[in-house]
């Protein structure tokens, strides 16, 4: 049986509409629809499915994050398919080089053995990345806008205004597998499992979520003033920002801690955590190819 699990909040509250539109494609299979936000015990729900079932997840990166953080890190006997229906779809972009695909992709191998982040006394699994700095600030402001309006959030506009007026860079300490680095005026310091976050920003162009060493990448943009940072920042959409080695540093490792001298917001696959002074990422076991 086909089980379609959707998130009504995805794609600017059009998640259920997108999922129901798939009815014509799968009408012969009589799919069962469920809203992931309304499933009280998601683990029990997945455990009730068998090898004869197929789970089709319809949503965006936040929906994927919702799935992995409410379920155990285990392999399932049925295929888990993903139909990207979010506003950014960075996970899909990392897998197939596009933010939309007419055909669902199988994701079983990508949602186990995930890296975790410890922040403010809690531990989260993540698929794409941890944003810390102006990227976390953008999510904080975006959440406030969503609470007041149903209009799509312009994160690029928030970032530009933040760079020019509202966000103050922090002094950062970055510890990678025990080796310590210090950066003044850090604008962002994300740790990435994939290449993308923020709806197409190629933050870590060389990061491979299936790399045999199982490592993650921390990317620090630092040192420059507002205007130079603003000039370089748009190049992050093509991964060209890392060529500015005078203001962008990349480190690869298995355990990464980032500390700021002042707290600010952090995002985990687009989900915001407020008032964060530091975070620690630890990688999981190697992902099977």
What 3-state DSSP class applies to 105?
Answer: strand
Instruction: Return the pLDDT at 285.
Output: 56
State the pLDDT at residue 97: 87
Burial 123-136 (b: 16+ CB within 10 A, else e): ebbbbbbbbbbbbb
pLDDT per residue, tens digit, the chain (289 aa), is: 999 999 988 877 888 888 898 888 888 888 999 999 999 999 999 999 999 999 999 999 989 999 999 999 999 999 999 999 887 899 999 999 888 888 999 999 999 999 999 999 999 999 999 999 999 999 999 889 888 887 878 887 888 899 889 999 999 999 999 999 999 999 999 999 999 998 889 999 999 999 999 999 999 999 999 999 999 999 999 999 999 999 999 999 999 999 999 999 999 998 899 999 999 999 975 443 3
Q: What is the pLDDT of residue 270?
A: 85
DSSP 115: -
For residue 218, give the nearest of 159, 130, 125 by alpha carbon: 130
Q: Where in the chain is the domain with CATH 3.40.50.10330?
A: 2-110
Please tell me the predicted confidence (pLDDT) of residue 101: 84
In this structure, the number of other CB atoms found within 10 A of the CB of residue 182 comes to 11
Residue 166: φ, ψ to 5°: -105, -30
Contact of 5 with 55, CB cutoff 8 Å = yes
The strand pair at 271-282 and 116-119 is best described as antiparallel
pLDDT at residue number 289: 35
Q: Which two tokens stand for residue 75?
A: 């392999």
**pTM of the complete model:** 0.91
- Give the Cα separation of 217 and 109 in Å (integer): 20
Tell me which residue of 86, 108, 19, 149 sits closest to 289, measured CA to CA: 108
Q: What's the CATH number for 116-282?
A: 2.60.200.40
Asked if 83 and 123 touch (Cβ cutoff 8 Å), the reply is no
pLDDT reported for residue 286: 47
Fold classification of 2-110 (topology level): Rossmann fold (3.40.50)
Which residue spans of the chain are classified as CATH 2.60.200.40?
116-282
């Amino acid at each position: 049986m086909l089980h379609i699990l959707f998130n009504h909040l995805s794609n600017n509250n059009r998640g259920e509409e997108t999922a129901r539109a798939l009815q014509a494609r799968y009408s012969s299979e009589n799919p069962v629809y469920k809203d992931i936000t309304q499933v009280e015990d998601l683990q029990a729900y997945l455990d009730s499915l068998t090898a004869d079932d197929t789970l089709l997840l319809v949503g965006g990166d936040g929906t994927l994050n919702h799935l992995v953080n409410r379920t155990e890190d285990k392999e399932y006997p049925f295929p888990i398919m993903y139909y990207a229906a979010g506003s950014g779809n960075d996970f899909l972009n990392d897998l197939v080089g596009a933010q939309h695909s007419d055909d669902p992709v199988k994701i079983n191998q990508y949602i186990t053995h995930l890296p975790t982040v410890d922040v403010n006394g809690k531990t989260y699994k993540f698929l794409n990345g941890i944003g810390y700095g102006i990227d976390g600030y953008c999510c904080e402001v975006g959440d406030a806008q969503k609470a007041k309006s149903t209009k799509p959030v312009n994160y690029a506009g928030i970032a530009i205004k933040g760079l020019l007026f509202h966000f103050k860079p922090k002094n950062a300490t970055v510890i990678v597998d025990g080796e310590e680095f210090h950066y003044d005026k850090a604008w962002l310091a994300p740790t990435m499992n994939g290449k993308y976050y923020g709806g197409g920003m190629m933050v870590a162009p060389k990061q491979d979520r299936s790399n045999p060493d199982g490592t993650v990448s921390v990317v620090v943009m630092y040192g420059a003033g507002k205007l130079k940072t603003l000039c370089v920042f748009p190049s992050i959409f093509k991964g060209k920002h890392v060529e500015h080695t005078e203001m962008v540093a990349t480190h690869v490792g298995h355990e990464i801690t980032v500390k700021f001298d002042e707290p600010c917001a952090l995002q985990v696959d687009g989900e915001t955590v407020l008032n964060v002074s530091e975070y620690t990422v630890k990688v999981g076991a190697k992902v099977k190819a």
